[in-house]
């Protein structure tokens, strides 16, 4: 059993003409790697009619619908995070309930609003009520604003997690850019045991995985790929040398199965 | 047989990196089935006189037959020509120069002279585009990435120049490959360490466009875990011949002047 907690898919209203090929490639690579379930999100129209990290409500709805269609087409392979924009509170709350009812199992927050902003509170409160984990896009140590996103770093996500101790948060892609040591320090020194770490991202620095294990322990690590499945597989291979068999199983799927709603995966 | 043309030994100034000793490199090679490593001295990237790391590199790589030294040359420093002769004496498969780290114009006169000298000595020149993802570099790590224009200029310096480029992404590879004549492009090799696999399939695309013969196996270890490059290959549907070309044949071809 292997659960990828950080996957993405595309659809016909994205700027990419090759969207079908990219979706097929993810599934094909997943078969070779041994991915049982891709837990995925779609960020609106990926920039076609609203910005990737500031998706409009109609684009969010279209993207979430496209993901629901994929979930229906591949019920044994794909699960969905409902993506929302916290700047549209009523729409976000409605979309969460609509997509949860249709079978999605988590909430995706990208970079439309800083993680510690009060506008995220109603979303997190609903996540608590529905028992849904929140995957939050994180820039590992944001030392300045980056174009195209209102990125958050680990300190801001931890502040949100402290306000919502009964919600499980996934700090996205520790290998996805920025200073991962800054994020690990925030998790190590904080009081936020409800923040788990997703290992995805194109970065796979020497020493990074050892540091992740040391900082949060295997019980808070989740395997994922994001945009580069080769680096995801490489990290998994490396972990086989670093962890015991039972520890590796935690990272491969047991930790994910623990935080997502019961019944979300074949093992449940 | 698997040859890693892109490995590093020695401390990195911007963060603690485990596994920078020759023994640790050999252990990682054992773990990942790498039979031969072309090794560069990592601290030299940041030294005013990079050649001062070569003696240590020769000594360190001399302890294990699987390790091949890639000595560094700074063509702006007096006596740099001697390094090329020493490299041959020590069985170095290539020499390296990283102009943006040394503060040199990457397409300037010094680099062109060096490239021509390497060609005359029948030694490929190794250059790194980068060492780390630009998003995560230390605030004081400001060396520019190697530009495509410099590579196009260097390969045109002399018909005997051969260049192996590490840490290049798809965009740069395509810009240089298709910005060169077929004869020039045939003297360029690219390591796969920075090329994305699925679902973007950039490595698969390059195999179909620039050709399997242009790609060599490299990892950038220990700054990055070597399993990445292995995973990339395992995610492709390569024939045994294609895989052997990437893992060893093309690197050997780069040496066959």
Summarize pLDDT for A124-145 with one digit per residue, the tens: 999 999 999 999 999 999 988 9
Which of chain B's residues have a Cβ under 8 Å away from the Cβ of A215?
none
Q: How distant is the Cα of B184 from the closest Cα of chain A, in angstroms?
A: 30
Question: What integer pLDDT is reported at residue A143 of this predicted model?
Answer: 87
Whether B46 and B13 have beta carbons less than 8 Å apart is answered as yes
| Residue B218 C-alpha, separation from nearest chain A C-alpha, in angstroms | 14
Closest CA to B6 of B73, B94, B84, B83: B94
CATH of segment(s) B3-255: 3.20.20.140
Cα–Cα separations (whole angstroms), residue B91 to B58, B70, B87, B95: 10, 9, 6, 11
For B132-191, the pLDDT digits (tens) are 999 999 999 999 999 999 999 999 999 999 999 999 999 999 999 999 999 999 999 999
A149: pLDDT strictly greater than 90:
yes
Closest CB to A29 among B133, B136, B198:
B198
State whether B231 and A238 contact (CB < 8 Å): no
Kindly list the residues from chain B whose CB atom is less than 8 angstroms away from the CB atom of residue A26: 198-199
Does the beta-carbon distance from B234 to A32 stay under 8 Å?
yes
The torsion defined by the Cα of B112, B114, B117 and B118, in degrees rounded to 10, comes to -110
Give the C-alpha separation, A120 to A135, whole Å: 13
Among candidates B132, B198, B223 on the partner chain, residue whose Cβ is nearest the Cβ of A230? B198
Determine if residue B72 is left, alpha or beta; phi over 0 gives left, psi from -120 to 50 gives alpha, anything else beta: beta
From A260's Cα to the closest Cα of chain B, the distance in A is 25
Is the CB of B225 less than 8 angstroms away from the CB of A205? Answer: yes
Coarse DSSP helix, strand, coil percentages of chain A, rounded to the nearest 5 percent: 45, 15, 40
Which pLDDT band holds residue B203 (cuts at 50, 70, 90)? Answer: very high
Cα gap A11→B227, rounded to integer Å: 31
B234's CB contacts (< 8 A; 6+ apart) are: A32, A233
> How many Å is the Cα radius of gyration of chain A?
17
- Decide if A265 is inside a domain: no
Domain boundaries, chain B: 3-255
Q: How many domains does chain A have?
A: 1
**Residue A167 within a domain:** yes
Structure confidence at residue A268 (pLDDT)? 62
Name the residue range of residue A70's domain.
3-259
Which residues from B are below 8 Å from A139, CB to CB? 135
Residue-averaged pLDDT of chain B: 97
- Check CB contact under 8 Å for A229 and B197: yes
Q: Do B15 and A140 lie within an 8 Å CB cutoff?
A: no
- Residue in B with minimal Cα distance to A8: B199
Question: Cβ B235–A181 below 8 Å, yes or no?
Answer: no
DSSP B147: P
Q: Does some domain include residue A266?
A: no
Q: What is A19-58 written as a DSSP string?
A: HHHHHHHHHHHHHHHT-SEEEEE--TTTTSSS-TTS--HH
One-character DSSP codes across A58-127: HHHHHHHHHHHHHHHH-TTTEEEEEEE-TTSHHHHHHHHHHHHHTT--EEEE-SSS-TTSGGGHHHHHHH
Among B243, B245, B227, B170, CA closest to B200: B170
Contact B15 A234 (CB under 8 A): no
In a domain, A7, yes or no: yes
Residues of A in contact with B221 (CB under 8 A): 206
CATH number for the domain that contains residue A186: 3.20.20.140
By Cβ distance, the residue of B135, B197, B223 closest to A230 is B197
A268 within some domain: no
Residue pLDDT, tens place only, A83-128 = 999 999 999 999 999 999 999 999 999 999 999 999 999 999 999 9
Band of pLDDT at residue A48, cut at 50, 70 and 90: very high
> For position B70, what pLDDT does the model report?
98
Q: Which of A203, A227, A238 sits opposite B136 (nearest CB)?
A: A203
Count how many pairs of residues, chain A against chain B, have C-beta atoms within 8 Å: 96
Q: Is A227 a member of any domain?
A: yes
Q: What are the structure tokens assigned to B169, written together?
A: 């992404």
């Amino acid at each position: 059993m292997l659960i990828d907690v950080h996957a993405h898919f595309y659809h016909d209203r994205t700027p990419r003409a090759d969207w079908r090929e990219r979706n097929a490639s993810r599934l094909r690579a997943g078969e070779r790697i041994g991915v049982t379930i891709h837990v995925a999100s779609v960020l609106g129209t990926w920039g076609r009619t609203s910005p990737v990290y500031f998706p409009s409500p109609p684009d969010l709805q279209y993207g979430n619908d496209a993901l629901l269609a994929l979930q229906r087409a591949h019920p044994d392979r794909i699960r969905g995070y409902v993506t929302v924009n916290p700047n549209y509170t009523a729409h976000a709350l409605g979309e969460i309930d609509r997509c949860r009812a249709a079978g999605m199992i988590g909430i995706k927050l990208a970079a439309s609003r800083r993680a510690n902003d009060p506008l995220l509170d109603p979303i997190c409160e609903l996540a608590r009520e529905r028992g849904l984990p929140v995957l939050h896009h994180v820039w590992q140590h944001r030392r300045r604003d980056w174009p195209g996103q209102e990125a958050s770093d680990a300190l801001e996500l931890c502040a949100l997690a402290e306000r919502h101790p009964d919600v499980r948060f996934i700090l996205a892609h520790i290998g996805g850019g920025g200073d991962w040591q800054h994020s690990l320090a925030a998790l190590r020194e904080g009081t936020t045991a409800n923040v788990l770490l997703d290992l995805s991202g194109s970065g796979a620095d020497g020493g990074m995985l050892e540091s992740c294990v040391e900082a949060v322990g295997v019980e808070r690590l989740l395997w994922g790929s994001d945009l580069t499945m080769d680096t995801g597989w490489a990290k998994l291979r490396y972990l086989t040398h670093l962890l015991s068999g039972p520890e590796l199983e935690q990272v491969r799927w047991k930790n994910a199965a623990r935080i997502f709603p019961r019944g979300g995966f074949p093992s449940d | 047989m698997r040859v890693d043309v892109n490995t590093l030994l020695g401390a990195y100034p911007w963060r603690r990196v485990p596994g920078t000793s020759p023994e640790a490199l050999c252990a990682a090679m054992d773990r990942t089935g790498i039979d031969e490593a072309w090794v560069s001295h990592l601290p030299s990237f940041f030294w005013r006189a990079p050649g001062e790391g070569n003696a240590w590199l020769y000594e360190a790589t001399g302890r294990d037959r699987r390790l091949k030294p890639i000595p560094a040359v700074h063509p702006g420093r007096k006596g740099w020509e001697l390094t090329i002769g020493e490299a041959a004496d020590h069985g170095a498969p290539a020499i390296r120069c990283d102009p943006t780290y040394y503060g040199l114009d990457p397409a300037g006169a010094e680099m062109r002279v060096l490239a021509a000298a390497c060609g005359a000595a029948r030694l490929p020149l190794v250059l790194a585009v980068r060492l780390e993802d630009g998003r995560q570099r230390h605030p004081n790590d400001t060396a520019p990435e190697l530009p495509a224009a410099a590579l196009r200029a260097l390969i045109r310096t002399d018909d005997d120049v051969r260049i192996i480029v590490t840490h290049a992404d798809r965009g740069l590879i395509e810009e240089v490959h298709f910005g060169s004549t077929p004869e020039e492009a045939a003297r360029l090799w690219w390591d796969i360490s920075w090329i994305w696999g699925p679902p973007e399939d950039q490595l698969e695309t390059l195999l179909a466009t620039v050709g399997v013969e242009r790609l060599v196996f490299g990892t950038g270890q220990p700054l990055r875990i070597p399993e990445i490059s292995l995973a990339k290959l395992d995610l492709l549907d390569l024939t045994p011949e294609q895989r052997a070309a990437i893992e060893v044949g093309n690197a050997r071809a780069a040496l066959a002047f």
